[in-house]
Amino acid sequence: MENVEVDFAVVGAGFAGLTAAWRLTNVDSPPRMIVLEARPDRVGGRVWTDTLDDGTWLDKGGTWFGPGQEYSYKLAEEMGACTYPTYTDGDSILVLEDGTIVRYAEDFPLDHLFPALGGLAVMEEFAAMAKKLPLDAPWEGTHAAEWDKQTFAAWVDSQLDDSSFALARMALKTIMMGVFCIDTAELSLLDALYLIRSHHGFTRLMSVKGGDQQDRIIGGAQSIANTIASKLGDRIRLGTPVRTIKHDDDSVTVIADNLTVRAKRVIVAIPPTLAGHIQYEPLLPAGRVQLLQRTPVGSVLKVVTVYDEAWWRDDDLTGQSFALADPVGATFDGCTDTGTPGVLISFVFGPNARAFGRLTKEERQQRIVDSLVKRFGSDAADVRLYEEVEWADQQWTQGGMFAHFPTGVLTNYGSLIQEPVGRIHWAGTETSSAFHGSINGAIESGERAAKEVVDAES
Amino acid sequence: MENVEVDFAVVGAGFAGLTAAWRLTNVDSPPRMIVLEARPDRVGGRVWTDTLDDGTWLDKGGTWFGPGQEYSYKLAEEMGACTYPTYTDGDSILVLEDGTIVRYAEDFPLDHLFPALGGLAVMEEFAAMAKKLPLDAPWEGTHAAEWDKQTFAAWVDSQLDDSSFALARMALKTIMMGVFCIDTAELSLLDALYLIRSHHGFTRLMSVKGGDQQDRIIGGAQSIANTIASKLGDRIRLGTPVRTIKHDDDSVTVIADNLTVRAKRVIVAIPPTLAGHIQYEPLLPAGRVQLLQRTPVGSVLKVVTVYDEAWWRDDDLTGQSFALADPVGATFDGCTDTGTPGVLISFVFGPNARAFGRLTKEERQQRIVDSLVKRFGSDAADVRLYEEVEWADQQWTQGGMFAHFPTGVLTNYGSLIQEPVGRIHWAGTETSSAFHGSINGAIESGERAAKEVVDAES
């Protein structure tokens, strides 16, 4: 068992932990610092890029940056990473419940999904409600208790309680199922509103151009994490899952497999459900224990299919699609900045992902290619490479894309989300309101936590 | 590191694990078996009895048996344990929101809490809905999806949407907050109905005589667990928290601190949130991982105050009380069968327990004694001994009294609750529909799991 003594320990080398470590280190007379990462082979956490022999990068996890995500762009620039726009020339495709294919030219097919005025009115009501929330403490909003005791599914059904709104109902639930990767019967209305608030509205959240899916990173999103890691050097320890954190008034002791670290403070920068798996001595306060029991994650299968060419571009298609009933809930053009080879990104969300989990990989590939062919034509069948990740099957993530707060959790426990427990500090996109759930949120949380520990010791 | 090879391993020596172990052992040619218990000093899990020097037993966890709980009574008889009735001679006390004290003679003060017909009608509607649920698969009920997308709090508010029902609304939410130890904004209506169904109705659940709080165990409830443990002898290993379970087609390897057990099958008989803290290799299927992320537990402070005499009995009081707004949500006579010394059991539930957790022990004692004095008179101040347990602070329980299923969880994951994962089987009261959440449920689940592993190997 190796013993190390440092000023600050960071648990987790995702974007939150790496940012915290980098902010702590990139100063005159940096403190002694160490980052403990459970994965044996890489940093990046929920951001994971594979690179093919020809140099093509495939983003298998977090992928995009969008307008307003200043923490993301700033860090990218600092690390010398360049962005390029997701391809948007042409029409996108909407697949209706009965399989009908609709081509649309807008950023998001609002008019197709909410053709009746009532449906659009509900969207506007939802946006207006979201705007009322205090961004940094949504649980303190005037209507927080009222909204946190309802599920998103129940609210949609109550607002659109007429058969003429069947399409709008289905659209709203399907969209939010995709965003949170869960059945919306699991989703608190307050949590849904908080997300929309934090992403500056529904259209921004869902759009490519002008929205959250606007930009990609040359080399893939993980390349930024890799650059930070190379700057941190041997201060990052891979393959070092933390099992126990002992803490008292004077210090913390972070015990990982084969390594024990004594530090003044620790930043826990992993998904909250995994933070709950660590044994704390003494036990965390009841409120914190219970918060960590109440931050489940959804299921999402992300599939990357590689083709010789981006054939959809020849058909004046963006590669973007959105489906109401088909298990392939959404697709995006996933090419590098050169546009060759063709790369399509497909998502299977929530209950559909769990159902796909019971199939073989071959069956999944067949089902996904079938869906793509129906949507885009027979070119979609000429797959050169099929790659998939079910994030719920990743040991050191255990779900995707980010945790949600079930009903009653934000109002009962929300004020504890960022609150340190003695010398233990918390980071991760779940603790951030700066595009909550995004890479940007992770980065912001890392900066905030780094500042916390420095301030506490100065 | 000690290595042991057995036929069956059991994780957890609560009533579920002990029952499973006893059923496996109490046969001709018993299989080789071991029980791994994390606590260093006792068996019993959420059932925990302290015994004073004068022999008085104080039940600090699960306490009662009631009519219909056949698994409990059968096991008690088998272990030579005798029951005695909780004291019920006299009136009980209801404390209204404004502090008004109401004496009542009924098993439960239904007429006082639901004076308006509409309130009673909602109780009847609730009972009728519960009866419709298939007991062993509530997620398959005709209205399951409809009920699982609503919280109990929202349902109550929608049914009693008139200021004349303020008392009934508050009563229903307060009662269910006590039962689940959470804000009812966290509670799925389907889960609430399932509990009522599983306990044969609301009145049975809440009552002493004829209900779930009817009987106590001579020597305290843990004495039954202790008797099983003495029969199992060195097959029980205390202070052996399980960290990792490796599993393949041929066997399981259960790795605890300082002990590795190879077995044909393992029964995991601990609260689901703790089962989620174990590292499984390979990782459990996504559905099971996600179910274990979705079984949070509430907060409950259980307080035992000991007096020279059971003075309330002289005032023709049962010692039972129920309060709408006071943090001491409920009290019960907690005496031994002799009635001397006087023992009162007090409960602080859910959000109130979390608020109490931020006070010192002395402040909590003062607040609780103040409440008891208001309710029962000045005799309540002459406390000889004050004992308290916040179950959320117990490392190897991390909440009380039993897990709930947030909205959408029973309908999305319910069918997985009992489903083995290869050679890993699941027990615990959360897996049982035989008085779900009770000691009886734990025992039933242990019997079921023991049968499962024997059947699978024969």
Rounded CA Rg of chain A: 22
Are B417 and B341 members of one domain? no
- Would residue A368 count as lying in a domain? yes
Interface test with B, best of A151, A187, A189, A358 (most B CBs within 10 A): A151
Supply the ipTM of this predicted assembly: 0.96
Residue of A nearest to B298 (CA): A290
- Would residue B450 count as lying in a domain? yes
Calpha distance B18→B199 (Å, rounded): 23
- Would residue A89 count as lying in a domain? yes
**Closest among B113, B115, B143 to B130, alpha carbons compared:** B143
Size of interface A-B (CB pairs under 8 A): 146
Q: Do the chains contact at B287 and A354, CB–CB below 8 Å?
A: yes
Tell me the angle at which helices B189-198 and B117-131 cross, rounded to the nearest 10 degrees: 80
Are B194 and B157 members of one domain? yes
Are A228 and A186 members of one domain? no
Q: Do the chains contact at B183 and A408, CB–CB below 8 Å?
A: yes
Q: Which of B148, B286, B351 sits opposite A412 (nearest CB)?
A: B351
Please report residues of B whose CB lies closer than 8 A to that of A277.
276-277, 279
Q: Which of A149, A277, A351 sits opposite B151 (nearest CB)?
A: A149
Listed in sequence order, the residues at least 6 apart from B292 whose beta carbon sits closer than 8 Å to its beta carbon are: B272, B273, B275, B276, B284
Q: Which of B293, B295, B298 sits opposite A399 (nearest CB)?
A: B293
Listed in sequence order, the residues at least 6 apart from A381 whose beta carbon sits closer than 8 Å to its beta carbon are: A369, A372, A373
Residue of A nearest to B181 (CA): A290
Contact A327, A357 (CB under 8 A): no
* Last-in-domain residue among B393, B411, B430: B393
The confidence score (pLDDT) of residue B447 equals 98
**Chain position carrying tokens 């908080």:** A194
Are A282 and A413 members of one domain? yes
- Would residue B237 count as lying in a domain? yes
3-state secondary structure chain A: CEEEECCEEEECCEHHHHHHHHHHHCCCCCCCEEEECCCCCCCECCCCEEECCCCCEEECCCCCECCCCHHHHHHHHHCCCCEEECCCCCEEEEECCCCCEEEECCCCCHHHHCCCHHHHHHHHHHHHHHHCCCCCCHHHCCCHHHHHCEEHHHHHHHHCCCHHHHHHHHHHHHHHHHHHCCCHHHCEHHHHHHHHHHCCCHHHHHCCCCCCCCEEECCCCHHHHHHHHHHHHHHEECCCCEEEEEECCCCEEEEECCEEEEECEEEECCCHHHHCCCEEECCCCHHHHHHHCCCCCECEEEEEEEECCCHHHHCCEEEEEEECCCCEEEEEECCCCCCCCEEEEEEEEHHHHHHHCCCCHHHHHHHHHHHHHHHHCHHHHCCCEEEEEEHHHCCCCCCECCCCCCCCHHHHHHHHCCCCECCEEECCHHHCCCCCCCHHHHHHHHHHHHHHHHHHHC
Give every residue of chain B whose pLDDT is below 70, as ranges. none
Q: Which of A186, A299, A395 sits opposite B408 (nearest CB)?
A: A186
- Would residue B100 count as lying in a domain? no
Instruction: Give me the CATH number covering residue A266.
Output: 3.50.50.60
* Last-in-domain residue among B374, B393, B412: B393
- Would residue A258 count as lying in a domain? yes
- Would residue B229 count as lying in a domain? yes
Residue range A59-116, pLDDT digits in tens: 999 999 999 999 999 999 999 999 999 999 999 999 999 999 999 999 888 888 888 7
The confidence score (pLDDT) of residue A196 equals 97
The confidence score (pLDDT) of residue B95 equals 97
Are B235 and B258 members of one domain? yes
- Would residue B71 count as lying in a domain? no
Instruction: Give me the CATH number covering residue B309.
Output: 3.90.660.10
Q: Which amino acid, residue A2?
A: E
Tell me the angle at which helices A166-180 and A117-131 cross, rounded to the nearest 10 degrees: 40
Residue range B309-354, pLDDT digits in tens: 999 999 999 999 999 999 999 999 999 999 999 999 999 999 999 9
Q: Do the chains contact at A299 and B276, CB–CB below 8 Å?
A: no
Are B158 and B196 members of one domain? yes
Are A116 and A202 members of one domain? yes
Residue range B189-240, pLDDT digits in tens: 999 999 999 999 988 999 999 999 999 999 999 999 999 999 999 999 999 9
Please report residues of B whose CB lies closer than 8 A to that of A295.
293
Q: Which amino acid, residue B82?
A: C
Residue range A389-438, pLDDT digits in tens: 999 999 999 999 999 999 999 999 999 999 999 999 999 999 999 999 99
A394: its two tokens: 């990743």
Are B288 and B424 members of one domain? yes
Please report residues of B whose CB lies closer than 8 A to that of A276.
273, 276-277
Are A344 and A362 members of one domain? yes
Please state, rounded to an integer, the average pLDDT across all residues of chain A: 96
- CA angle B177/B179/B181 to nearest 5° reads 55
Are A287 and A412 members of one domain? yes
Domain extent, residue B266, equals 2-45+221-296+401-457
Are B315 and B371 members of one domain? yes
User: How many structural domains are present in chain A?
Assistant: 3
pTM (whole model) above 0.95: yes
Q: Is B372 helix (H, G, I), strand (E, B) or coil?
A: helix
Phi-psi region of A172 (alpha: psi -120 to 50; beta: other; left: phi over 0): alpha
Interface test with A, best of B146, B186, B405 (most A CBs within 10 A): B186
Give every residue of chain A whose pLDDT is below 70, as ranges. none
Are A426 and A281 members of one domain? yes
